[in-house]
């Protein structure tokens, strides 16, 4: 009976994960269901301009794997996170950014339920818009 309950719980988790990924705008961009203009694409990560920028440079760096938020990161995701930061370093170097910020949003400040990092540079950032 306990094994069946565990199986059903795991099955329910997989269904929820499937629904979240199926409806996730970032997953749709990554898998080609929606048009995207990636400025960088690696095996694990994509980067593209934010459609509502809060600074002159506002790039989103997103793992291809659907990770819901910073609160759901696991040890298995370490490679994805390292790759995100490697992409950020490349973008900073390629664009000769002398001053920049890297930021993650969470809770009610995270508007898309797929982990992403903001690379911000240029004019003063309007934090109220983040």
- Rounded to an integer, what distance in angstroms lies between the CA atom of residue 55 and that of residue 59? 10
Which residues are marked as active site? Answer: 116
CATH number corresponding to 25-129: 3.30.428.10
pTM for the whole structure:
0.80
Give the model confidence (pLDDT) of 80-111 as tens digits.
999 999 999 999 999 999 999 999 999 999 99
Give the model confidence (pLDDT) of 19-40 as tens digits.
445 689 999 999 999 999 999 9
Residues 6+ apart with CB under 8 A from 99: 121
């Amino acid at each position: 009976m306990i094994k069946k309950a565990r199986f059903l719980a795991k099955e329910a988790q997989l269904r929820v994960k499937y629904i979240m990924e199926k409806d996730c705008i970032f997953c749709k961009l990554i898998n080609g269901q929606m048009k995207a203009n990636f400025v960088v694409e690696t095996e694990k990560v994509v980067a593209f301009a934010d459609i509502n920028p809060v600074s002159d440079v506002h790039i989103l760096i997103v793992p291809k794997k659907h990770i819901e938020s910073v609160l759901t990161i696991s040890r298995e995701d370490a490679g994805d996170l390292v790759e995100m930061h490697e992409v950020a370093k490349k973008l900073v170097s390629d664009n000769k950014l002398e001053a920049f910020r890297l930021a993650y949003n969470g809770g009610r400040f995270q508007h898309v339920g797929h982990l992403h990092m903001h690379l911000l540079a240029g004019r003063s950032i309007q934090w109220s818009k983040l």
